[in-house]
Amino acid sequence: MRQFRIEPGLLAGSVYADLHANDIGLFEVLAASDEWSVRRLAQALSAPISTISSALDRLERQDLVRRSRIPDDRRVVRVALTPRGQRLAGRLNGAHIENCRAMLARLSPEEREQFIRLAAKIAGR
């Protein structure tokens, strides 16, 4: 697995270049739904709210996410990807798929089938 670790030098010019390690997980979660609060994000990522807030500050400055308060309860802050953030989330997803393909390419067709079957079992499908 060490061979597939993304090293900082390899990130230059890639879709990951301007992202902090925490940002990638945020993008995965935010791309799945547009109904996220800061608290729900923290729970989904098992991270402190302060960590999520710092990441959101950074991503908001880059126009990748937006935060807004809901009219019914001004204490709740909703978080969503901006159009620019949605495009980046799509590119991140594509890069993730390509990374998985590269890892699976080392397996024989039978090994890939077995791996997918076992991964699906672990995922509860």
User: Could you read off the pLDDT of 41-91 as tens digits, one per residue?
Assistant: 999 889 999 999 999 999 999 999 999 887 877 778 889 999 999 998 888
Q: CB atoms < 10 A from the CB of 54, how many?
A: 14
State the residue range of the domain holding 73: 2-122
Sign of CA dihedral 115, 117, 120, 122: negative
pLDDT interval class at 14 (50, 70, 90): low
State the CATH number of the domain containing residue 85: 1.10.10.10
- How many structural domains does the chain have? 1
Rg of the chain over Cα atoms, rounded to whole angstroms, equals 17
Average pLDDT taken over every residue of the chain: 82
**pLDDT, position 4:** 47
pLDDT interval class at 35 (50, 70, 90): confident
Name the pairing type of β-strands 65-70 and 36-37: unpaired
**pLDDT, position 34:** 67
Q: Which two tokens stand for residue 72?
A: 């019914």
Gap between the Cα atoms of 84 and 99, Å rounded: 23
Residue with tokens 């109904």: 35
- The residues facing 67 across adjacent strands are 79
pTM attached to this predicted model: 0.71
